[in-house]
Amino acid sequence: MKLPKGFLFDFDGVVVHSFESHGKAWKSAFKELFNEEIAPFPKSLSGKSPMIIANYFCSVIGKEDRTEDLFKLKDIHLDKFFTVPKLLPGVREFTALLTTKKIPYGIASNATRQFLKNSVHHLNLDFNTYFGVEDYKKPKPAPEAYITLANALGFNKNDFNDIWIFEDSLTGTKAAKAAGMIPIGILTQYSESELKEAGSKLVFPTLLEAYLYLTK
């Protein structure tokens, strides 16, 4: 089959499983700041910007005014006590294919740029172009993240309807759809029906199945 012009990837839940990495950083930062245990992470916040997540955790204990403090401290802990996330299946096969075919690709995430940089380095991933939450005025579910990445890869608006975006969250899927690109769901946290309802055109368990679909 003819491959799309470009491929854009979310990071957490698509390229890596990083719930443990982020969870430890939130937990230790919250403990340092408030000397209390943090509330459980609600699934509804998956894929949202760290500032929204920080606001939620602070609101649980009535400390919304400390949202920015928690956001900044979590970022410090994420870097200082970096836990290498687990690589998900199919990533290396996919990047090798795209490199061989000379198809532009990159990452746009609501995670911080430093976390992406650390992860790409420690896992020796072949991603040269990646954007984190600091690179956008409006993080996902706004389309800015994916438009920023597509523009950086040399695409213009006329190309957008031939660009695939791999997303595991409803937040990111909505961002991909709003950008006018093609959302493709990855089943690491939501069901096929939930992802399709949010806008996913196709759904795969991991990038490996998507790779096999494209190369069969």
**Does the pLDDT of residue 25 top 90, yes or no?**
yes
Measured CA to CA in angstroms, residue 177 lies from 24, 142, 181, 182, 194 at distances of: 31, 10, 6, 6, 14
* pLDDT > 70 in the chain, percent: 100
Task: At 135, give phi and psi (nearest 5°).
Answer: -85, 0
Name the 3-class secondary structure at 8: strand
Q: Tens of pLDDT along 91-124?
A: 999 999 999 999 999 999 999 999 999 999 999 9
pLDDT band at 207 (very low <50, low <70, confident <90, very high): very high
**Does the pLDDT of residue 43 top 90, yes or no?**
no
Q: How confident is the model at residue 1, as a pLDDT?
A: 73
pLDDT band at 47 (very low <50, low <70, confident <90, very high): confident
AA identity, residue 109:
S
**Does the pLDDT of residue 54 top 80, yes or no?**
yes
CB 163 within 8 A of CB 5: yes
Instruction: Compute the distance between CA of residue 173 and CA of residue 167 in angstroms, rounded to an integer.
Output: 6
> Quick one: tokens of 119?
């992860």
Q: Read off the DSSP letter of residue 43.
A: G
Q: Tens of pLDDT along 136-146?
A: 999 999 999 99
pLDDT band at 132 (very low <50, low <70, confident <90, very high): very high
First to last CA, the chain: 8
CB 79 within 8 A of CB 118: yes
Q: How confident is the model at residue 46, as a pLDDT?
A: 85
Q: Tens of pLDDT along 66-95?
A: 999 999 999 999 989 899 999 999 999 999
Q: How confident is the model at residue 67, as a pLDDT?
A: 97
